[in-house]
Chain A
Amino acid sequence: MPKFESIDHLREYRRQLIAKRDPNQPQVLVCAGPGCLPMGSDEVAAAFREEFEKNGLGAKVLLKECGCHGLCAGAVRVLIRPQEITYQHVTPEDVPEIVEKTLKEGQVVERLVYEDLHTHEKAAHKGEIPFFQGQMPIVLRKLDIIDPTNLDDYLAMGGYRGLRKALMEMKPDDIVDAIDKSGLRGRGGGGFPTGRKWRICQDAMDEPKFIICNGDEGDPGAFMDRAVMEGDPHAVLEGMIIGAFAIGASKGYIYVRHEYPLAVSRLQLAIEQARESGFLGKNILRSGFDFDIKISRGAGAFVCGEETALIHSMEGNIGEPSPRPPYPAQSGLFGKPTVINNVETWANVPEIINLGADWYAGIGTENSKGTKVFSLVGAVNQTGLVEVPMGTTLRQIVYDLGGGIKGDRDFKAVQTGGPSGGCIPAQFLDLPVDYDSLQSVGSIMGSGGMIVMDTTSCMVDVARYFINFLYEESCGKCTPCREGLKNLLFILDEIIHGRGTEEHLALMDELCGTMATASICGLGKSAVNPIFSTMKYFKDEYLAHIRDKKCHALVCRPLLKYTIDPETCTGCLACVRECPVGAISGKKKMAQELDQELCVKCGLCYEACQFEAVKIE
């Protein structure tokens, strides 16, 4: 990899790179994203390597371990180019057949291709799979194609073209204008207009200025940022370099969770490559602009995703938020003007600069431009990473992309925006997903977590789960959040144990009202969303727990009653063997009896019974 001395040098290198590459060369792209890696994608890749060697294909076929392919439900995924054939649930045992049939004979291995759950139609090519059809990848565009450890791959896909344009054709003011005009808003959750944030920092008189990339993704079930950092690290760097040039920063930091070791190593490698090639360091591409990036690792506190807490943590202080103003753009890291944006925001920047603000502003809704990446998880058939234009409806995401609810159960709610998002009921399925619409129904965009729930979820239990998460993660600095979350959790526990009263609901409502206004940071302010939204849309469930002492979704164990139906029971004693407290008794081959006094409601007998003789009320 040469050190690029000038723009022309980069342009010439890219031209040669593309000319050198044969677009018809067979490529095997194994997904090594967050979903596939734990399912053994490296073993699949190793099997391919071995098979190529056996067949003498090593020089002919290009094998890459790429970032997330999106449809994580089909892990491990393999994409064969140039035919764009996708295989799912690939194991090392399938590899010889793929090599034999697809690579040698050009045929499709039917048993490994996507099959529609409802129509049972098979789709071998990526473009035919409904999951990918409604998507519009901008941030995720390169993830399934490039090798994240190879800078050439990034350059061949047009990488650092945005930086070239920014340094050569634009003044810092033009860049901020472009970002402003594009309508890009912070993808970390707050949705603050990125251009305006940059402008405030650009106008700040103090020096030096800093750039921070917030990669402290901590929402349960969310892995958008992780996939981008692991799969396309140079896009994050390029965005940051452009941002630094715009606001006049000389130093940047990427704050990554310690729990993302692969993201850390991929980013570290990308930083070293960028330094070697002259995209980072002194006099970048002979433009006279100096900038360098360092990685700062987070120690595992959820609250450090909040920008002021993140800055305190980076400074070596306790990761607690501080009241704003001053905003980081005025006084951030070490008291200096700092622009802090989320991974996805930074990854959007190169494309906006490269393709223009108007192009970006043409996508999305009036106040929410561009696309948004969501990690679609929960009770949908097709879980995975999706990138859709703002304004796509929840129904499209859940049913068209997600393939509907697992097991043909009914949709109950979708929770957007991480633990402090709200639960949106079925009546709002046609809601266009953008910052304002989500807020109008009591939820938030957040960083893009999307948890779909079906009728087996109890909304009181769901609220308790998220409040428990937030309670454990509250930094404990301000009274409303610290003491408020403790009491919310206590009240929800009372309700779940059948000790709740209607006064409890009123008290929660009152307490949430104060938490939402008087907490220091977003954690406490938005912690009330799971409560408010479930109390608003699923009040009947709360009342069923309180008045009837019943959990209709059969989730809250303290409210359940297990009985054995004497008609169905065969006396196989499977439940007796499982029961940890010896509450079930009776003769062999006779109906068993369950002692309600002894029963601890663990549910093991229910799971053990093969004759559905154990009933839950």
Chain B
Amino acid sequence: MVWKISDETAFDTLGEEVRLTINGVPIRAPQNQSLLVTAKANGFEIPTLCYHRDLPSEGQCRLCVVEIGEHPHTQIVNSCTYPTTPGLMVQTHSEKVMQARRIVLELLLARTPKAKLIQELAAAHGVYESRFKTDDPEELCILCGLCVRTCREVVGVSAISMKGRTPDKQVATPFMEKSPACIGCGSCAFVCPTDVIPYTEKNGVRTIWGRDFELQACTVCGNYIEPKYQLEHWAKITGDPVETFFVCKDCR
């Protein structure tokens, strides 16, 4: 049994339907579904930063925290990984929860003062200025790890990962060198919520993570499709000849 946390399930197998309450409202949901999905399905909004429906949650951002249990024995947990259990009492907007979210956003606002998404989310929580210290006013990465997870779980090449510890932690290729594993697909840049992963496309060449990828032109219309490397990766996965992918999706 592999405990995999994805959009639908907190754990690999959903159990029988259980009853729980969210903000006092009785809810029915399958056991082991994540609290975040359960809340959303029932119309309770919970803000998130590092959550993506197609990726396993790892609970980095701590924005989706909720309060569980009965006063005074309550506990703050992150809703993206916490499973539904019978009789669970969940508060999505209690004072404790809101305080934690405000502090998390204030910390992130100090880390990435120019990140639009953080500014907006913070403002929505009444945080317009941070009392904390900004090291690099140009910093945009919130270390949510969506890029790393996408590269590992969706693309399946693990070309990038987290490097180091402390706030100096960063997303990087191994040894900060050009990664032979990278296929240049750009999924990391696509999924990034703060648009911090740079890449360029010029004269049929895509540059990302310090590597140049030659783009394949569509054999019909001549428009660039994707890096050749990526198409070869597709061919390897599907077992089809690589030429299958030399026609863009508009011309197929």
Contacts and interface: CB of A to CB of B under 8 A. Distances in A.
Interface string B210-233: 000000000000000000000000
A487 B132 contact: yes
Contact of B162 (A206, A318, A490): A318
Interface of A: 206, 301, 303, 318, 320, 322-323, 325-326, 330-331, 335, 471-480, 482-487, 490, 507, 510-511, 513-514, 517-520
B78 A323 contact: yes
Contact of A482 (B3, B83, B143): B143
B76 A480 contact: no
B47 to A, nearest CB: 13
A476 B164 contact: yes
B222 to A, nearest CB: 43
Contacts of A519: 62
Nearest to B57: A323
A323 B57 CA distance: 10
Interface in B13-72: 58-63, 65
A485 B169 CA distance: 14
Given A477-B143, A478-B61, A507-B131, 19 more contacts: A318-B162, A323-B78, A325-B81, A325-B83, A477-B58, A479-B61, A483-B111, A485-B166, A486-B135, A486-B167, A487-B133, A514-B100, A514-B104, A517-B65, A517-B96, A518-B65, A518-B100, A519-B62, A520-B78
B165 A483 contact: no
11 contacts: A323-B78, A326-B11, A474-B165, A476-B143, A476-B162, A476-B166, A477-B143, A478-B60, A479-B108, A482-B143, A490-B133
B2 A335 contact: yes
B103 A476 contact: no
B82 interface: yes
A323 B59 contact: yes
Interface of B: 1-3, 11, 58-63, 65, 75-78, 81-83, 96, 99-100, 103-104, 107-108, 110-111, 131-133, 135, 142-143, 145, 161-162, 164-169
B64 to A, nearest CB: 10
A483 B107 contact: yes
Nearest to A330: B3
B103 A323 contact: no
Nearest to A320: B162
Contact of B3 (A326, A478, A510): A326
Give the interface centre of B11, B100, B142 by most chain A CB atoms within 10 Å: B100
Contacts of A514: 99-100, 103-104
Contacts of A331: 1, 3
Contacts of B135: 486
Nearest to A507: B131
B78 to A, nearest CB: 6
A507 B161 CA distance: 33
Give the interface centre of B65, B131, B142 by most chain A CB atoms within 10 Å: B131
A476 B167 contact: yes
Contacts of B62: 478-480, 518-520
A484 B82 contact: no
Given A325-B83, A326-B11, A479-B107, A518 B76 contact: yes
Contact of A517 (B61, B76, B81, B111): B76
Contacts of B75: 517
Contacts of B131: 507
A322 B4 CA distance: 12
Contacts of B100: 480, 514, 517-518
B104 A325 contact: no
A490 B166 CA distance: 14
